[in-house]
Amino acid sequence: MISLEELFKHPLYNLPRPALQEDDWLLRLKTDAELILSYRQSASEEEGYDKTSWTTDKETHPPWLRFHLGISRRELYDRKDLNLAQLTHYLATERILGAVQKKGGTQLKLLVSFPNYGQALLKPMRQSRDAETDVNLFYFSDFERHNAEIAGFHLDRVLGFNRIPPVVGRLINVTTEIRDITTDERLSRTFFTSPAGNVCFYGQCEYYCSTENPVCGRPHVLEVSLATMLPDLSLAPRRSWRSPWRRSYSRTKLAQWEKDSAYCDTVKKTPPYNHGTRLVDLIDMAVLDFLMSNMDRHHYETFEEFGNDTFLLHLDNGRAFGRHSQDEPSILAPLAQCCRIRRSTLLRLRLLSHPDFRLSDVMRESLAQDPLTAVAPLLSEPHLSALDRRLATVLGVVQTCQDTNTDVVYNDLDQYEDQQLEDDS
Ligand SMILES: Nc1ncnc2c1ncn2[C@@H]1O[C@H](COP(=O)(O)OP(=O)(O)OP(=O)(O)O)[C@@H](O)[C@H]1O
Ligand SMILES: [Mn+2]
């Protein structure tokens, strides 16, 4: 049996890359001392935090800080970094010190904090894992799913992108780990006991924050996803970009890209898509989104520090994996309309369609590392097989492009010998 470990040993996941320079690290631009001071200051007001803190010595850094210090221009984390396992273990087990509602966005989510100043973005389970989105619901009326956040992180990593902050599943006690400790009045006011005797809450937000749409424990226990928080915006500002292939978020209106088949020609001429890797980065993101059927990628973010020469953050994957019995070809519009794809991405996609490395198999194995798998598989078998079906569709679209276009493949691998890359794909 071929495993995830074997996949990650493949040359395509181990390309020798130029060493990162000083200005390729998000936070190395600041000295360690400055950085630590700013972290301490931002939390010094609050009670209950650990007194003894870390020094500039790396050994003393908590996993979340090591994650922040490991963010580079090229990717959010290094898959081989041993800190990753420590980070996910930390998120899954550390004592929850605080939980408040996170502002921004439309649906209920909480900002959770830990005693050594680490933080995570919590999204609750709202519906059973197997519930398929109602066919009469528009994509913008869909609930977010905690398992989609978790599976999105794993899929992004399996694709070799490393552009989603690590996410882990956890069972929490809504009474002792939220209601009893929260300082957020607006949140605590919304707790109640349901007719079935379960402890529920709904918070305050634009959508689904009402008694009719409660989040409920059983009677106290709730499944949630916890995403590692990125460095604070004051430390590492981010820029938000509107996706050129954004949907209209309207029942009746079509977006420009849906009406104009030459839409990509315009995008290709428009900064920042006319230069560097931004267009193929966007197409990578479209492939990820098509595979998990995420129609909600209205924006993406980058770290300002790195200008336009950097990867795209794939934040907010809560609306992925809504339907397994149906695919959404329009998500692939950037690929189908531009007929362009990174060579490294294409080769990894081909590898993942190989029976030895079948995407559904490596995803099943990857997701099994998450603690919530003990409760139930994070993606049901129909969702896993949908991944294989959609992968075949992506490769089909690339083939169609190649039948009628030259210059489909953006060669980001020209410094490598072909033999080095394609030993069995
Ligand atoms: N891991 C993270 N670290 C720091 N900030 C994050 C993280 N994940 C998301 N955010 C920020 O929080 C905002 C809201 O999160 P998210 O998009 O997941 O919520 P949402 O309710 O689905 O939003 P929307 O309704 O706009 O789609 C995002 O725009 C992003 O800037
Ligand atoms: Mn969202």
Return the domain boundaries, the chain.
238-421
Residues of the chain predicted below pLDDT 50: 424-425
pLDDT of residue 425: 43
- Ligand with an atom nearest the CA of residue 235: 1
pTM above 0.90, yes or no: yes
Residue 301: Cβ within 10 Å count: 15
Closest Cα to atom 19 of ligand 1? 105
List residues near ligand 1 (CB under 6 A).
104-107, 109, 121, 144, 165, 227-230, 315-316, 318
Taken as a whole, the chain contains a residue count of 425
Residue 411: Cβ within 10 Å count: 11
List, by residue number, the catalytic residues: 296
- Ligand with an atom nearest the CA of residue 207: 1
Which H or E run includes 42?
Answer: helix 32-43
Is 250 strand, coil or helix?
coil
In angstroms, the CA 122 to CA 178 distance is: 11
CA dihedral 385, 129, 108, 317 (to 10 degrees): -10
| 221-228 and 238-242 beta bridge pairing | unpaired
pLDDT of residue 55: 73
Strand partners, 123: 225
- Residue 298 CA, closest ligand 1 atom number: 27
Query: Would the annotation count 305 as a binding residue?
Result: no
Extract the tokens encoding 39.
Answer: 């972290």
Are the CB atoms for 110 and 178 separated by under 8 Å?
yes
In angstroms, the CA 22 to CA 3 distance is: 35
In angstroms, the CA 399 to CA 93 distance is: 46
Closest Cα to atom 16 of ligand 1? 316
For the chain, how are helix, strand and coil distributed in percent, rounded to 5? 40, 10, 50
Amino acid, res. 253:
K
Residues 200-225, buried b or exposed e (16+ Cβ, 10 A)? bbbbebeebbeeeebbbbeebbbbbb
- Ligand with an atom nearest the CA of residue 301: 1
User: Residue written as tokens 């100043």?
Assistant: 117
CA atoms within 13 A on the CB side of 39: 26
Residue 269: Cβ within 10 Å count: 9
Q: Distance from the CA of 317 to the center of ligand 1, in angstroms?
A: 9
* CA-to-CA dists, residue 231 to 74, 253, 283, angstroms: 16, 37, 26
Q: Distance from the CA of 317 to the center of ligand 2, in angstroms?
A: 7
Burial of 41 (0-12, 13-18, 19+ CB in 10 A): exposed
Helix axes 381-404, 359-367, angle to 10 degrees: 140
- Residue 301 CA, closest ligand 1 atom number: 31
In angstroms, the CA 298 to CA 285 distance is: 12
Are the CB atoms for 108 and 208 separated by under 8 Å?
yes
Closest Cα to atom 7 of ligand 1? 229
User: Residue written as tokens 């198999």?
Assistant: 361
Is 100 strand, coil or helix?
strand
In 47-116, the DSSP E strands lie at 98-101, 110-113
Q: Distance from the CA of 188 to the center of ligand 1, in angstroms?
A: 22
- Residue 230 CA, closest ligand 1 atom number: 3
Q: Distance from the CA of 298 to the center of ligand 1, in angstroms?
A: 12
pLDDT of residue 18: 92
Give 242-289 pLDDT, tens digit per residue.
Answer: 999 999 999 999 999 999 989 999 999 999 999 999 999 999 999 999
Selection from 264, 243, 254 nearest residue 337 by Cα: 264
Query: Would the annotation count 212 as a binding residue?
Result: no
Q: Distance from the CA of 144 to the center of ligand 2, in angstroms?
A: 7
Closest Cα to atom 29 of ligand 1? 105
Closest Cα to atom 24 of ligand 1? 105
Query: Would the annotation count 30 as a binding residue?
Result: no
pLDDT of residue 43: 57
Strand partners, 101: 110
Is 389 strand, coil or helix?
helix
Query: Would the annotation count 1 as a binding residue?
Result: no
Rg (CA), the chain: 22
